[in-house]
């Protein structure tokens, strides 16, 4: 496993994190095994959200922690808030109450990281700053970040808080790579040149914000994973060839593609399978060559300008 330093955290974070969106249907015993496997693989960062399985994911994780209280000091726990049924809510009251509820479900006194899950069209950055101040002073949250936000939204929030926003969790993989496309196709007229996010990748790099990548193996909500998907034959053929070259699975090569980017991203692995988690972590054992990175990039119906 490889690690990186994040301002405000007392431990370096693993470049692969365990995503906990899908653990809600696991038994506590199975979850214990998965967490132990994550530790053995060098993972020390666990990503939650208050909405995952309607709160059950945090609740089950908390039950596992109660059985193994020694785990808490070995791990960093991140959760997210702001999505409610039918609308988004980043009001001061909701942020604080959401953290209180997450801490209760998780059975811990603090979150290492709190992310604002989605941009709220009605968000008041002054309120958000006040919420952060309260949570930090009460020792409930150590560090803060955002998710799915543009540079302007990040800058607006950062203007009203003294605490640095250290993460921006964004959808990114070899299929969903618009924040790379717009740079590669800069000053061109092809569709990939369209800037969907205001240059968020460069903004994060310029401001020491680590990009956390969600859905690292997912093409879309409708299509599911792109691994072995019939619509992505060229990509899978390339993944297989490179898998033989580097001695890794397709999913590991796809993860290595993300980690190869010099932005120093963190990949959120959302699997509940110990075997799949181990395979994904093998991505940290290699560094794709520049040529191989571009082979994967262009295998998804992209032609370089």
Query: Given this model, what pLDDT does residue 247 score?
Result: 98
Parallel, antiparallel, or unpaired for β 111-116 and 141-147? parallel
Q: Band the pLDDT of 190: cuts 50, 70, 90.
A: confident
Separation of alpha carbons 157 and 86, rounded Å:
23
Whether the predicted pLDDT of 66 surpasses 90: yes
- Known catalytic membership, residue 52: yes
54: nearest Cα among 96, 87, 83:
83
Active-site annotation holder among 3, 52, 232, 294: 52
Residue 244: Cβ within 10 Å count:
10
Residue 94 lies in a domain: yes
Query: In percent, how much of the chain has pLDDT > 90?
Result: 96
Residue 304 lies in a domain: no
Which CATH number characterizes residue 173's domain? 3.20.20.100
- Domain boundaries, position 115: 3-298
Which tens digit of pLDDT belongs to each residue from 269-288?
999 999 999 999 999 999 99
Q: Please give the helix or strand (H or E) that residue 274 lies within, else none.
A: helix 274-281
> How many Cα atoms within 13 Å fall on the side-chain side of residue 261?
25
Query: Given this model, what pLDDT does residue 302 score?
Result: 92
Mean pLDDT, range 160-184, rounded to an integer:
97
Mean pLDDT, range 107-129, rounded to an integer:
98
Mean pLDDT, range 19-27, rounded to an integer:
97
Query: In percent, how much of the chain has pLDDT > 70?
Result: 100
Whether the predicted pLDDT of 210 surpasses 90: yes
Alpha helices in 5-163 (DSSP H): 28-41, 56-67, 92-106, 125-137, 151-159
Mean pLDDT, range 228-240, rounded to an integer:
97
Mean pLDDT, range 226-235, rounded to an integer:
97
Residue 303 lies in a domain: no
Angle, helix 56-67 to helix 28-41, in steps of 10 degrees:
70
The total number of structural domains in the chain stands at 1
Mean pLDDT, range 219-239, rounded to an integer:
95
- Each as own residue / partner, the long-range contacts of residues 24-31 (CB below 8 Å, 24 or more positions apart, any chain) are 24/52, 24/53, 24/54, 24/56, 24/57, 24/60, 25/53, 26/60, 26/272, 28/60, 28/63, 28/64, 28/67, 30/272, 31/60, 31/61, 31/64
Query: Given this model, what pLDDT does residue 192 score?
Result: 87
Residue 305 lies in a domain: no
Mean pLDDT taken over the chain? 97
268: nearest Cα among 3, 4, 98, 18:
18
Whether the predicted pLDDT of 103 surpasses 90: yes
Which tens digit of pLDDT belongs to each residue from 3-15?
999 999 999 999 9
Residue 83 lies in a domain: yes
């Amino acid at each position: 496993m490889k690690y990186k330093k994040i301002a405000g955290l007392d431990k370096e974070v693993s470049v692969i994190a365990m995503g906990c969106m899908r653990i809600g249907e696991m038994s506590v015993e199975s979850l214990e095994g998965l967490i132990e496997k994550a530790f053995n693989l060098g993972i020390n960062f666990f990503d939650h959200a208050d909405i995952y399985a309607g709160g059950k994911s945090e609740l089950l994780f908390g039950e596992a922690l109660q059985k193994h209280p020694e785990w808490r000091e070995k791990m960093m726990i991140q959760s997210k808030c702001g999505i409610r049924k039918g609308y988004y809510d980043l009001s001061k009251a909701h942020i604080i109450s959401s953290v209180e509820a997450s801490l209760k479900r998780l059975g811990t006194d603090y979150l290492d990281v709190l992310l604002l899950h989605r941009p709220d069209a009605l968000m008041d950055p002054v309120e958000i700053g006040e919420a952060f101040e309260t949570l930090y002073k009460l020792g409930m949250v150590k560090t803060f970040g955002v998710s799915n936000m543009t540079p302007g939204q990040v800058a607006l929030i950062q203007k009203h808080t003294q605490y640095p926003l250290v993460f921006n969790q964004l959808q990114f993989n070899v299929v969903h790579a618009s924040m790379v496309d717009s740079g590669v196709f800069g000053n061109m007229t092809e569709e990939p040149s369209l800037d969907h996010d205001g240059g968020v990748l460069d903004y994060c790099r310029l401001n020491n914000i680590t990009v956390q990548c969600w859905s690292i193996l997912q093409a879309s909500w409708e299509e599911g994973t792109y691994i072995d998907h019939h619509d992505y034959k060229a990509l899978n053929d390339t993944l297989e060839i490179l898998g033989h070259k580097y001695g890794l699975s397709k999913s590991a090569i796809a993860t290595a593609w993300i980690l190869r980017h010099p932005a120093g991203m963190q990949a959120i692995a959302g699997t509940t399978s110990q075997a799949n988690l181990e395979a994904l972590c093998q991505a940290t054992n290699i560094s794709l060559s520049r040529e191989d990175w571009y082979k994967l990039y262009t295998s998804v119906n992209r032609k370089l300008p």
